[in-house]
Amino acid sequence: MMPPSAATTTDMSQLASKTTTVHFDNTLGAVVIGFIVIAVLYGVSCVHFYRYANGSSSDGSIMRGTIYVLWGMDTLYLVVNSFTVYYYAVTNFTDPLALTWSPWSAPATMIIADFIELTVTLIYAYRIFRLSGSQQLLICIVLPQFGGFGSGIAVGILEHRYSGWEEWHSLIRRIWYAALALQTTSDCTIAVSLCVILIRCRTGSKRNQSLIRTLILYSIYTCALTSSASIAAIVTYALMLNNLVYSSFAMLCPKLMCNSLLAWLNSREALRSMYAGQVVSVHLTGLSYGNIMPSQTHALTGLQVHGLATEGEVGDVL
């Protein structure tokens, strides 16, 4: 048998050195964990979508059709991610260097995620515009989202063109930061806008205050959840560039936004029935009917009518 050439020996030594530097915990393991989490979130979104499709929603056909399309994109997002995980964990299980290359499904996943985030943001922006009527506020929400959408599409195209991670990272690092930062800005703007609008709807009644407090907390929690995933992706990408931990956080962003929107849509009827169904109770046992004037009777009735009208104004937020 002939001894291997010097070039062959050098190539084999380089391959061995690269193979030994691949750690599965923070590369393949991070991708698998992220996929498990988004699969669980997809199950939650299916439950939310079933409730929305079969509930007594007052939304128009355009809104309902948009939600159906959003659920279809959410399903496609899971399918494409499944192919990516299968490519790394099964097809190239014996080839650790495959982790340094991205299949076609990786940029496709990124583009689908951008469409999901854009759709959810536009729905929120439309509802806020109906409540406030402010075009400046609408621009502050939509403009960063479109900037993040364009940056995400650029990242997906570059990832498809340059499959090697080293080339890809050197080209899109700043674009990736911009995409996640703009998405976080848009989420925070939505949360702040909703909180300001809700605070202005306060009237002083206890049930009005309770309803507004519930909606404000929900807006803050939703923004904190989605923004924390984007910020975690930015931080892990900046600090751990040589692994795939950041991808597990980036995979969660569109799923969290989709679930938060569906949960908000399904909670409207429950909140309306919870607060609008309450009436003002007045104990009349200690009163003498002979001492109640007709004008006082109309005043008591007016309390209940005024309370329902107040809740109707807050109902527009839902």
- pLDDT for the residue numbered 90: 85
- Residues 249-278 have a mean pLDDT of 80
Three-class SS state of 151:
helix
Locus of tokens 């309902």: 64
- Whether 183 is in a domain gets the answer yes
pLDDT at residue 244 greater than cutoff 50: yes
Angstrom CA distances, 284 to 29, 123, 261, 288, 306, stand at: 68, 47, 44, 8, 20
More confident residue, 58 or 125: 125
Q: Please name the amino acid found at residue 55.
A: G
pLDDT at residue 291 greater than cutoff 60: no
pLDDT at residue 311 greater than cutoff 50: no
- pLDDT for the residue numbered 284: 38
- Whether 7 is in a domain gets the answer no
- pLDDT for the residue numbered 166: 63
- pLDDT for the residue numbered 233: 87
- Residues 277-292 have a mean pLDDT of 41
Two structure tokens written together for 12: 């084999």
Angstrom CA distances, 239 to 79, 163, 236, 287, stand at: 30, 22, 5, 72
Of the listed ranges 47-51, 77-81, 153-157, 160-164, the one predicted with least confidence? 160-164
- Residues 64-76 have a mean pLDDT of 94
pLDDT in tens, 210-222: 777 777 777 787 7
Provide the residue range defining the domain that includes 281.
Answer: 23-315
pLDDT at residue 21 greater than cutoff 60: no
Q: In which band, very low, low, confident or very high, does the pLDDT at 208 lie, cut at 50, 70 and 90?
A: low
pLDDT in tens, 250-263: 899 999 999 989 98
Q: Are 80 and 156 spatial neighbours (Cβ–Cβ below 8 Å)?
A: no
Two structure tokens written together for 176: 């990736």
Q: Residues 221, 224, 230, 235: is their CA dihedral positive or negative?
A: negative
Q: Are 84 and 28 spatial neighbours (Cβ–Cβ below 8 Å)?
A: no
Q: In which band, very low, low, confident or very high, does the pLDDT at 157 lie, cut at 50, 70 and 90?
A: confident
The total domain count for the chain is 1
How buried is 26 (Cβ within 10 angstroms: 0-12 exposed, 13-18 middle, 19+ buried)?
A: middle
Alpha helices in 277-317 (DSSP H): 294-315
- pLDDT for the residue numbered 79: 95
Q: What average pLDDT is seen over the chain?
A: 75
pTM for this entry: 0.75
- Percent of the chain clearing pLDDT 90 (strictly above): 19
- Whether 18 is in a domain gets the answer no
| Side-chain half-sphere CA neighbours of 106 within 13 A | 23
- Residues 51-64 have a mean pLDDT of 82
pLDDT at residue 50 greater than cutoff 70: yes
- Whether 71 is in a domain gets the answer yes
What CATH number is associated with residue 65? 1.20.1070
pLDDT at residue 286 greater than cutoff 50: no
- Whether 15 is in a domain gets the answer no
pLDDT in tens, 185-195: 888 888 888 88
Of the listed ranges 97-106, 224-233, 270-279, the one predicted with least confidence? 270-279
- Whether 37 is in a domain gets the answer yes
Locus of tokens 């938060």: 260
pLDDT at residue 115 greater than cutoff 90: yes
Q: Are 213 and 192 spatial neighbours (Cβ–Cβ below 8 Å)?
A: no
- Residues 52-75 have a mean pLDDT of 88
